[in-house]
Structure 1
Amino acid sequence: MVKQTPPFAPTVVSGRVSSIDSVRGVVMILMALDHVRDLLHVSSLTQSPTDLTTTTPVLFFSRWITYLCAPTFVFLSGVSVWLSVRRSGKEDSRRFLVKRGLWLILLEFTLVNFALWFDVQFRLLMLQVIAAIGAGFILLAVLLRVSPAKIGITSALILATHNLLPLVPASDRPLLNTVRSLLFTPGALQGSPGFTFFISYPLVPWIAIMLLGYSVGNVFEKSQAEQNRLLLKTGGGFLVCFAVLRLLNGYGDPIPWKVEKSTLFTLLSFLNVTKYPPSLVFVFLFLGIMGLLLWFSGKWPQAVQRVVSVYGRVPLFYYLLHLYLIRVSVFVMVFAQGYRWRDLQFGPFQFGRPAAGSGLDLSGVFLVWLVLVALLYPLCYWYDRYKKANAGVWWLRYL
């Protein structure tokens, strides 16, 4: 008997949901822009692109649009766990999540940090999104026996209330402040005069975003019509919540917006929400945009879907490869600009560039970004096909 595909079923290829791959591919492409700008832009060592006293609108939006990447990637990681559990069962998924989580944490503090700083002494280790996802996988392995509804309610409460933490005074005990920073607030922990551990992605709010994704994973098992209805309703609802909460200019973000020197800069102030840690209005805004992208992804031209989904199907491979290609680009740039190896700085937050003077303007950054993404496409396409042809090879599940 041939099993019938239900009408309006979500597009699923080899156990994957096409809308997830497409949207994840888009944010992976945008993420490369953020990292190219970080490592190559002429002012990246001295200027924040979201500082309204020094930025330009183009520079601001080159950073702001990439805010979409981390919450989307983390949320969809939670959805992917739900889908994986449905395919493989809880016991197999639990073991895999623990190993996968530990592997991601190891990668964060070795290959990822080395690509960023190119410092063989590892004087700075930074906890970023890959380690946060790894920690979330390990926690989800423990929580698989808990109902998704309870997990969703808990994650929503965390996201709604963690902005109250600044009202709680810091402790005079260093250990408690270390735990607070690891779980809730970004900060640097000085392990020794020559070593710093920097927490860029405090675990609790980011893991809460992943848990929220896991709790609603069943949406992607519904018919396409029902799925689209829920994504449009939820994405639009989140954006309305963002607009209302931001207009009230009270709770929801530690930095209120204000009237600036022009209407455009007032808009930038309104949109300039806090990512570290992700504020409530940040979550509403970018998960709302993500929901609308997922809803709209099926309406993209087929050629666009095919291209972006290639990146979205091999996210970790892409992530590691793009960092090292950017690292090569840094060296090409500084040597082409006349600097020598002795001029390069490899200390914390130096990116292996001279202390001042090197870098590209924004047009150069955009050009390098587009070339890099184009170079990555055939590599990601090859690796995707290789994974499909060798599905039984165990280590491919980890890259």
Structure 2
Amino acid sequence: MLQPAAHLPTSPALRSATPRVAAIDIVRGLAMVIMALDHIREFWSPTAVRPEDVAHASVALFLTRWITHFCAPTFVFLAGTSVFLYQQKQASRGAVSRFLLLRGLWLVVLEVVVINFLLQWGYNALLLQVIWALGWSMVLLAGLIWLPRWLVGALALAFIFGQHLLPFLQPVTRANVGWALLYGQPFLFKLTPQLPVLVAYTVLPWAAVMAAGYAVGPWFQLPAPQRTRWLGAAGAGALLLFGALRATNWYGDPAPWSVQARGLLYSALSFVNVTKYPPSLLFLCLTLGVALVLLAAWGPAGRLGRWLSTYGRVPMFYYLLHFCLLSGGAFGWTALAFGKPFNLSFAPPGAGLPAGYHPSLWRAYAVWAAVVALLYWPCRWYQGYKQQHTHWWLSYL
């Protein structure tokens, strides 16, 4: 995700010290491809039933949503790892810190101005989501990289494991909104009487995930067999911890699992239905455990790996372009299908859904395949452009 900026000096020796790890690009590319499915489902096939509601949702709807839970933790964790690897190629820690500060603030602006515009045609609100949290996480990491790496890792684990001892402040008011932005459940806040703010991603949990990725960065400098053992052991340990804590409902997630009247399969869905907002300990054990196993298991790239790495090497370019396609496509489709464009994901309050609309996972999967396929060649072109040019702004997209 992070590439050396042209204005930060590097020597040939430093550049060659840390070869690019293919597994990072491949797993990040996999996360990006799966992520698009969730966004497309929301724009092209929203449902009255919440996908996470195991008492009412179908298995297909639940799994379509659930599989995308792996995307944000993987993306943010590997962003932290990329920061460490990027730092090894730079002669000055101060230059890296300044770059992270500027790039983080740029991502915040990108979320507020560009991504909100792409998402919300016809809906008047400010949405603070993953890029917002990613940006502020980089701002915090700009300071954390001055600490010993072991301390950064210890602080990250302390927060991830101890977060459930912290309070959720309800209701959110002007007096406590600062803490609510740092840690808490999603909330709606009136910035002005005309502008509500929906905060979906609070900052500290995701900053801890990024810091954890930064702390394990040296693992990716190890010889491949040792790197595989360490990543595999860490992933297996996280999954075992998830299983043990989830089975007991003792600690780690505010929503306990339960036996479902609909049968054994739905009880299993309840077991893996962990909390994303904010990401609970068990949510992170499950998602990052799988990510670590994939990072360990993915060997030589092969055709599939090369295809996925095309997206994984230009994640922010892919992220912005996929929103242009899915949002613009939904605008055109609804205009043709219902006589006027309709934002199915962010319908204005009281507007309801247009007559004749019916959710369809088949439609969502077909659009997903089309969007991912259409993005391949632009991403491949942009990857080649970045490799051949050193413009300073390329490090910010």
- Fold match (TM-score > 0.5): yes
Alpha-carbon deviation of 1:175? 3.7
Alpha-carbon deviation of 1:196? 1.0
Alpha-carbon deviation of 1:299? 5.3
CA–CA distance in 2 between the matches of 1:347 and 1:311? 25
Kindly tell me the number of residue pairs found equivalent between the two proteins.
377
Q: Choose which of 54, 62, 65 in structure 2 pairs with 1:63.
A: 65
In structure 2, the partner of 1:255 is: 255
Contact 2:18-2:85 within 8 A present in 1 as well: no
Find runs of 4+ consecutive structure 1 residues off by over 6 angstroms: none
Distance 1:71 1:128, change over 3 A: same
1:353-385 deviations in Å (ceiling 9; x for gaps): 963443540011101000110000001000100
In structure 2, the partner of 1:98 is: 101
Letter in 1 for 2:20: R
Q: TM-score, normalised by structure 2?
A: 0.90
Q: Choose which of 393, 396, 399 in structure 1 pairs with 2:394.
A: 396
Alpha-carbon deviation of 1:114? 1.1
Contact 1:171-1:177 within 8 A present in 2 as well: no
**Partner-residue secondary structure (3-state), 1:196:** strand
Distance 1:41 1:348, change over 3 A: closer
**Partner-residue secondary structure (3-state), 2:76:** helix
Alpha-carbon deviation of 1:180? 2.5
CA–CA distance in 2 between the matches of 1:154 and 1:13? 28
Letter in 2 for 1:398: Y
Contact 1:242-1:285 within 8 A present in 2 as well: yes
Distance 1:348 1:370, change over 3 A: closer
Contact 2:44-2:344 within 8 A present in 1 as well: no
CA–CA distance in 2 between the matches of 1:38 and 1:173? 27
Q: How does 1:356-371 map to 2 (within 5 A)?
A: 356-357=354-355, 358=357, 360-371=359-370
Letter in 2 for 1:297: W
**Partner-residue secondary structure (3-state), 1:250:** coil
CA–CA distance in 2 between the matches of 1:126 and 1:361? 26
**Partner-residue secondary structure (3-state), 1:311:** helix
In structure 1, the partner of 2:335 is: 335
CA–CA distance in 2 between the matches of 1:328 and 1:232? 41
Contact 2:107-2:132 within 8 A present in 1 as well: yes
Distance 1:362 1:218, change over 3 A: same
Alpha-carbon deviation of 1:142? 1.3
Alpha-carbon deviation of 1:345? 5.5
In structure 1, the partner of 2:9 is: none
**Partner-residue secondary structure (3-state), 1:380:** helix
Q: Tell whether 2:299 aligns with 1:298.
A: yes
CA–CA distance in 2 between the matches of 1:48 and 1:346? 15
Q: Tell whether 2:185 aligns with 1:183.
A: no
Letter in 2 for 1:395: W
Q: Tell whether 2:289 aligns with 1:285.
A: no
In structure 1, the partner of 2:34 is: 30
1:317-348 deviations in Å (ceiling 9; x for gaps): 0000000100122123212323224xx35995
In structure 2, the partner of 1:163 is: 164
Q: Which runs of 5+ in 2 are unaligned?
A: 1-15
More moved, 325-334 vs 200-209: 325-334
Letter in 2 for 1:108: E
Contact 1:260-1:266 within 8 A present in 2 as well: yes
Computed over aligned residues only, the root mean square deviation of the Cα atoms, in angstroms, reads: 2.2
Identity of aligned residues (%): 39
Q: Which runs of 5+ in 1 are unaligned?
A: 1-11
**Partner-residue secondary structure (3-state), 1:324:** helix
In structure 1, the partner of 2:213 is: 213
1:214-262 deviations in Å (ceiling 9; x for gaps): 1111000100011000011000000000000000112111110000020
In structure 1, the partner of 2:126 is: 125
Letter in 2 for 1:182: L
In structure 1, the partner of 2:204 is: 204
**Partner-residue secondary structure (3-state), 2:338:** coil
Contact 2:45-2:360 within 8 A present in 1 as well: yes
Letter in 1 for 2:52: T
In structure 2, the partner of 1:5 is: none
CA–CA distance in 2 between the matches of 1:176 and 1:222? 48
In structure 2, the partner of 1:40 is: 44
**Partner-residue secondary structure (3-state), 2:289:** helix
Alpha-carbon deviation of 1:14? 9.1
**Partner-residue secondary structure (3-state), 2:255:** coil
Q: How does 1:218-257 map to 2 (within 5 A)?
A: 218-257=218-257
1:89-122 deviations in Å (ceiling 9; x for gaps): 3122111111111110000001111111124xx7
CA–CA distance in 2 between the matches of 1:327 and 1:139? 31
Q: Tell whether 2:151 aligns with 1:147.
A: no
Contact 1:333-1:359 within 8 A present in 2 as well: no
**Partner-residue secondary structure (3-state), 2:189:** strand
Contact 1:126-1:198 within 8 A present in 2 as well: yes
CA–CA distance in 1 between the matches of 2:336 and 2:17? 45
Q: Choose which of 14, 17, 20 in structure 2 pairs with 1:16.
A: 20
More moved, 157-166 vs 255-264: 157-166
Alpha-carbon deviation of 1:136? 1.1
In structure 2, the partner of 1:355 is: 353
CA–CA distance in 1 between the matches of 2:344 and 2:270? 34
CA–CA distance in 2 between the matches of 1:176 and 1:82? 37
**Partner-residue secondary structure (3-state), 2:166:** helix
**Partner-residue secondary structure (3-state), 1:189:** strand
Alpha-carbon deviation of 1:52? 1.5
**Partner-residue secondary structure (3-state), 1:337:** helix
**Partner-residue secondary structure (3-state), 1:288:** helix
CA–CA distance in 2 between the matches of 1:347 and 1:133? 23
Alpha-carbon deviation of 1:138? 1.1
Q: TM-score, normalised by structure 1?
A: 0.90
